[in-house]
A and B are shown apart, each in its own frame.
Chain A
Amino acid sequence: MIVTVALALTTLPFGLLLGFIIALAKDSNEPALRRAAEIYTTIFRGLPELLTLFIVFYGAQIIIRQIAGLFVDQPTIEINSFVAGMFALGLVFSSYASEAFLSAFKGIPSGQYEGGFAVGLTRFQTMRLIIVPQLIRLALPALSNLWMILLKDTALVSVIGLADTLRQSGIAARVTKEAFLFFGLACLLYLVLAIISSVFLGYIERWSKRGEAVQ
């Protein structure tokens, strides 16, 4: 269970950052950049998460082996399934997150940027001090949905051999022959995680809305 949570938590910042950058690219005036970002989203949103995981896991292994093969004769490098899982889930998460950020960007009127420039802030400062705080508030509902999806997608990593909740219960099920009990337990653990995160997300949402007028 700790592995599940750790995987989801390490994927999150990576996916968020990448998603934010992709969203910036999609929001830019430059058609070439927009097109490149759209290709990214189309690919990683269209592929099944499981397939992305396998492609990253085996593909990275092949590439790393070939690079290592330039130096060593018989490289015996095994890619860490945790890193592979984090990378693959991060790619999927970022492509969805970029859409969430993009629609949030669309929700911020251009006057906010102009106001920032008018008081003499640089582009980076405008982004950091004016746009991002509003962006978080607008994107939060979509992002909390994505977090729930991410939490569930971590279960897929058990397939490439990471000892997460699902894999451990699979082992327990094989040893004790009580498959229903242990897989049921795994499902319950995921439910508990979902409930805990919804409580936390509720806090964050209230925090992000602290600037709004109270009705």
Chain B
Amino acid sequence: MTTAQVTATLKPALPPPPPVAPGWTLARISGFAFLGLWLAGGIGLVLMLYNGFDPAFYARYGPKFLNGLVVTLEIVFLSILIGSVISLPAAAGRMSENPLAAAPAFAFVYFFRGTPLIAQTFLVYYGAGSFRDPLEAVGLWWFFRDPFYCVIFTFSLNTAAYQAEILRGAIQNVGKGQWEAGKSLGLSKLTIYRKIVLPQAMIVALRPYGNEIVLMIKGSAIASIVTVFDLMGETRRAFSRTFDFETYIWAAILYLILVELLRRVWARLETRLTRHLVRITADSGKDRPAGETEAAVIEEPVVTARP
């Protein structure tokens, strides 16, 4: 029997069942209700900003806000950078088998992760005053007198503790076999670290690092409490002078943009850096443009079967 005869004897395929008409379920109604609520809130905010539009206000506080934004970015950038340097010995200490190295590293990490950032900032900024004379004697008083330096100091130590844990988790996540393979090739310990373990660990650490930066951006608002005029500090100053709630709205918008931007960029970076780990299967075609997928997955077998 040829294929044509077989298909002739078969019953014609039934048409697909009609799609179920989506009704107005409770979920749908509440979904639209909440979306409407957000929309109304958004429009309300825009109207509020529009109605309260006062050129003098923007001329006076606009540049200050931008200055504050720059200060916030400075704090975050410097703290993350200095913190990443400090986190290296801390992570090494946490992984060390020598208790003399492990204990202080553990205490450091536990203290900075177990107490609120704001308490640490107070401890350094106000607490440094208790040691004014010895600090002046060493010549470090200028450093602890300035709130900006104090904030950088505290935030760096704080983020160093978190980064140390990220780093440790990532390095210990790399399988033991990787070490053994490196050793069996006769590589030195440093080379194994640099060429085998760290590249794999960094990929694992990428996402937590992104989260840590976001946390730092959010945490940097605390700097405003100790009279650093970052974005939050400028907002508080503007609010205390004008009692205009707009100031907080603008700060919220700026922070949201900052955090969302970082999140998006980081997600891009992650997909880019881990593209060699993505397994290509018939399923993975879903991520590709629709036309390309159909050509690749469905038609290909037909073409090979024909001759």
- Tell me the A residues contacting B by CB distance below 8 Å: 25, 28-37, 39, 42-43, 45-51, 54-55, 58-59, 62, 148, 152-156, 158-159, 166, 170, 173, 177-181, 183-184, 186-187, 190-191, 194-195
- Residues of B213-267 at the interface with A, using a CB-CB cut-off of 8 Å, are 214, 217-222, 224-225, 232, 235-236, 239, 245, 248, 251-252, 255-256, 259-260
Whether B119 lies near A47 (C-beta < 8 A) is no
Quick check: A184 and B218 within 8 Å, CB to CB? no
Collect the chain B residues with CB atoms within 8 Å of residue A37's CB.
34
A32 adjacent to B35 (CB under 8 Å): yes
**Chain A, residue nearest B112 (CB):** A187
Which 3 pairs between the two chains have the least Cβ-Cβ distance? A33-B31, A32-B31, A180-B127
Further contacts, 13 of them, CB under 8 A, given A30-B31, A32-B31, A58-B248: A29-B27, A32-B32, A47-B255, A49-B221, A51-B221, A51-B251, A58-B245, A152-B116, A170-B122, A173-B126, A181-B130, A186-B123, A191-B115
Q: For the complex, is B25 an interface residue (Cβ under 8 Å from A)?
A: yes
Contacting pair A39 B259 (CB below 8 A): no
Tell whether A153 pairs with B260 under 8 Å between CB atoms, given A48-B221, A48-B255.
no
Check if B127 sits within 8 Å of A183, measured CB to CB: yes
What are 30 A-B pairs with beta-carbon distances under 8 A?
A30-B25, A30-B27, A30-B31, A32-B34, A33-B28, A33-B31, A33-B34, A35-B31, A42-B256, A46-B255, A47-B255, A48-B217, A48-B221, A49-B218, A50-B221, A51-B235, A51-B248, A51-B255, A54-B236, A55-B252, A152-B117, A166-B116, A166-B118, A177-B129, A179-B126, A180-B130, A183-B126, A187-B115, A190-B115, A191-B111
CB contact list, B105-142 vs A, under 8 A: 110-111, 114-120, 122-123, 126-131
With known contacts A48-B218, A59-B248, A180-B130, A31–B225 Cβ distance under 8 A: no
Residues of A within 8 A of B115 (CB): 152, 187, 190-191, 194
Residues in chain B within 8 A of chain A (CB atoms): 25, 27-28, 30-32, 34-35, 37-38, 110-111, 114-120, 122-123, 126-131, 214, 217-222, 224-225, 232, 235-236, 239, 245, 248, 251-252, 255-256, 259-260
Q: Which residues of B contact A195 (CB under 8 A)?
A: 114
Given A48-B232, A156-B116, A166-B116, A43–B130 Cβ distance below 8 Å? no
Contact B232 A36 (CB under 8 A): no
Number of residue pairs across A and B with beta carbons under 8 Å? Answer: 140
Smallest beta-carbon distance A17→chain B, Å: 16
Residues of B within 8 A of A54 (CB): 236, 248
Query: What distance in Å separates the Cβ of A40 from its nearest Cβ neighbour in chain B?
Result: 8
Supposing A50-B224, A51-B248, A152-B116 touch, asked if A183 and B123 sit within 8 A by C-beta, the answer is: yes
Q: How far is it, in angstroms, between the C-alpha of A36 and the C-alpha of B33 when the chains are bound?
A: 9
B76 to chain A minimum Cβ distance, whole angstroms, is 12
A47 touches B123 (CB 8 A): no
A35 touches B35 (CB 8 A): yes
Report the minimal beta-carbon distance from A23 to chain B, rounded to whole angstroms. Answer: 14
Q: Given A179-B126, A180-B123, A183-B127, do A47 and B245 touch, yes or no (CB 8 Å)?
A: no
CA distance A37 to B34 in the complex (A): 8
Residue in A32, A155, A177 whose CB lies within 8 Å of B116: A155
Chain B nearest CB from A169 CB (Å) reads 8
Contact A46 B126 (CB under 8 A): no
| Most chain A beta carbons < 10 A, residue from B38, B114, B220 | B114
Interface centre among A33, A173, A194, by most chain B C-beta atoms within 10 angstroms, is A33
Write out the residue numbers on chain A whose beta carbons fall within 8 Å of the beta carbon of B232. Answer: 48, 50-51
Inter-chain contacts of B214 with A (CB < 8 A): 46
Q: Are B260 and A46 in contact (CB under 8 A)?
A: yes
Q: Which residues of A contact B34 (CB under 8 A)?
A: 25, 32-33, 36-37
- Are the CB atoms of A183 and B119 closer together than 8 Å? yes
- Shortest B9–chain A CB gap in Å is 38
Contacts known (A46-B259, A50-B224, A51-B232); A36 close to B251, Cβ less than 8 A: no
Tell me the bound Cα distance from A39 to B31 in angstroms. Answer: 12
Which residues of the partner chain A approach B255 to less than 8 Å between Cβ atoms? 46-48, 51
CB-defined contacts of B218 to chain A, threshold 8 Å: 46-49
Residues of chain A with a CB closer than 8 A to B131's CB: 180
B31 partner, pick from A34, A51, A166, beta carbons under 8 A: A34
| Residues in B neighbouring A30, C-beta threshold 8 A | 25, 27-28, 31
In the complex, the chain A residue whose C-beta lies closest to that of B32 is A32
**Which residues from A are CB-within-8-Å of B130?**
177-181
